[in-house]
Each structure stands twice: as C-alpha cells, then as structure tokens.
Amino acid sequence: MSGSKTDIPSAEVDLDRDLFMRTLIRELSGTLEDVVGLEDASGFISIVGTTIGESIGQAYRAALDVERLSRDQVAEVLVDLKRRIGGQFHVIAQSDDRIVLGNRACPFGDKVLGRPSMCMMTSNVFGSIAAENLGYAKVELQRTIAAGHGECRVVVHLEHGKAAREVDGREYFASRE
C-alpha cells in the first residue's frame, strides 16, 4: 500500500500490558454474564477472588511476621492492597463489628463500568482476608463504580449477628482453625 505508515513499533496505539489485562478481564466477565448470567458469572469470579485473597492475606501475614492480622491491620491491608493495584480505597469508619470503606478509583478503571460481576474480586479478596484473620466476614457492596455510582462504598461486617443478616452480601468463614 502506498502512503501507509510502515513503522509499526512507533504507531500511536493505546495498548500496554495493564490496559490489555483490564480489557481481557472486562471481556471475560462480560462473556460470562451473557452466557451464564450475572449470578453465575459472579460465582465464577468469586472463586478466583477467594484464591487471590487467600494468597494476598498470606503474603501480608508473612511480611508482618504474624499468624493473624488484627482488625486494624485487616483494614490497613485492604486499603494498601487496593492502593498497590491502582485503587483509591480509604477507611470511612471501623468498629468491632464492621469496617466501612470508600473508594474513588477502581483498579479496573473504566473497564469495570457495566460489569458488576467484576466487583466480586473486591468482595472475595476483602471477605477472604477478613475471615481468615478475624473468623468471619460478610461483604456488602452498597455502592459500586461498576453500577454507575461515582464511588464505591463497601461494608465488611465482622460479626455474624443481626446487622450482617439483614443486608445483602456474601459471607466468608475462616478455613483454618
């Protein structure tokens, strides 16, 4: 072809590993949502999220040289792990029975919009870390960027009491004694 650019490596194409991986995850979750439905897609992503959460939790415990993280450490770890992958989570409030987190930027960026199943990564990573260290967690996704809110609000319930039973969310239990 005459007149075409032949210097492919210098072509202005918006593509790097991070963008490719976020797009891959978006398309995979979208395909799952379309083929098996939102609930089952969320379930599949939950399995991956739980495995990743267990691995991340173990890495933090090893780095801090502790057998279990305290509630304060769990809250700090949840914020820190999201910071490390491009999120902007922060603790809004915490008490013996819950940790309330806000977020201004999703690690998946705009690729999360319209893909609520991707929020299962957050739910399962947070839930598995909290449960493995504190015994129990129920993660309530009150607001999500994926659903079109300008921010996320995530409540990690730490006690299997009335407050946790009355909200929609996923429950997590410690797998070790």
Q: What confidence category does residue 4 fall into, taking pLDDT thresholds of 50, 70 and 90? A: low
- Decide if 74 contacts 134 (C-beta within 8 A): yes
At residue 3, the pLDDT reads 55
**Strand runs (DSSP E) across the chain, as ranges?**
89-95, 98-103, 136-143, 152-157, 170-173
Q: What integer pLDDT is reported at residue 5 of this predicted model?
A: 60
Going along the chain from its start, the domains and CATH numbers come out as 15-173 (3.30.1380.20)
Across the range 13-17, mean pLDDT stands at: 90
On the question of pLDDT at 2 being above 80, the answer is no
Q: What is the pTM of this model?
A: 0.89
The model's pLDDT over 44-94, given as tens digits with 9 standing for 90+, comes to: 999 999 999 999 999 999 999 999 999 999 999 999 999 999 999 999 999
Would you state the pLDDT for residue 111? 95
- Distance, CA of 45 to CA of 37 (rounded, Å): 12
pLDDT tens digits for range 108-150: 999 999 999 999 999 999 999 999 999 999 999 999 999 999 9
pLDDT at 100 over 60: yes
pLDDT at residue 96, as a whole number = 96
Between CA 41 and CA 161 the distance in angstroms is 28
| pLDDT beyond 80 at 1 | no
The beta strands (E) that lie in 5-135 are given as: 89-95, 98-103
Q: Are 102 and 119 in contact (CB under 8 A)?
A: no
